[in-house]
Amino acid sequence: MKITPERLGQAAGIAAATAGAIFVAVQINHPPLDLHTVTTTDFMVRSLAKALMSMLALAGITGIYLRQLRQVGLLGLSGYLIFSVGYFLMFGVEFLAAFVLPSLTDSDPQFVSDVLTVAVGGNAVGSIGLMQAVLTISGIGYMLGGLIFGIAVFRAGILARWAAALLAVGTISTVALAVLPESFNRFFALPVGVALIGLGISLWRDQRKQAASAAAAALDFDGDAPSLHTDPIAVR
């Protein structure tokens, strides 16, 4: 299979849509975050799914940005970079949640409890070291980056504008979680998941059309161009 920009764009669209679907799926019947939950298989599976989601989302928004590179301008670039940092750090957080936190529940339960509290917008009782900075930067990257990137994609008007608007609103609205109960976490994640699905499908369709147009142009060129094996006498 020949690798073309259009095929890479379609792959990025699939990645974004898959990330959105995973993000929605992991919210279903999500247990509360506490010391008991951390040691369960369900918690590990959900954390690994979120880690996969963050990497797929990173690939997806990269494709979305590159498709509108000129149209989104500096606003889109800044939004893309900030959003990417948020998802990159999210991957690290979820990886640690799956493989490190469960092993600390017996030796340092207060640390685990504080990390979980900060992760849902609360305040830690003790010190969690650099995890505080990582969680803070990840949250800011997710919210601010999503807002700026969503606005830039909406203004570009190439991909689904409703999905871009939903991404901007969905990501920045999570700032309200600082004053809302943990149960609202799952509700606020749904719009972002739906937005990624919408943008992913829109990008996939756009790149499919681009590929079809490129193939048609190539056929027209081949049909109009003189053959290298044409008999020069017959041409006369």
Predicted confidence (pLDDT) per residue in 186-207, tens digit: 677 889 999 999 999 999 999 9
Amino acid at 108: D
d(CA 165, CA 200): 14
Contact 140, 134 (CB under 8 A): no
d(CA 149, CA 196): 12
> Mean pLDDT over residues 86-96, rounded?
94
For residue 227, is pLDDT > 50?
Answer: no
**Residue 27 neighbours by CB distance under 10 Å:** 16
Taking alpha carbons only, the member of 69, 226, 32 closest to residue 152 is 69
In Å, the largest CA–CA distance within the chain is 91
Which burial class, exposed, middle or buried, applies to 127 when counting CB atoms under 10 A from its CB (0-12, 13-18, 19+)? exposed
The separation between the first and the last C-alpha atoms of the chain, rounded to the nearest angstrom, is 41
Higher pLDDT, 46 or 117: 46
d(CA 80, CA 157): 16
Q: Output the pTM of the full model.
A: 0.86
Contacts of 8 (CB under 8 A, 6+ apart): 63
Exposure letters 113-126 (e unless 16+ CB within 10 A, then b): bbbbbbbbbeebee
Amino acid at 94: E
pLDDT of residue 236: 39
For residue 181, is pLDDT > 90?
Answer: no
pLDDT of residue 218: 67
For residue 175, is pLDDT > 70?
Answer: yes
Contact 83, 36 (CB under 8 A): no
Amino acid at 151: I
d(CA 4, CA 210): 11
Amino acid at 221: F
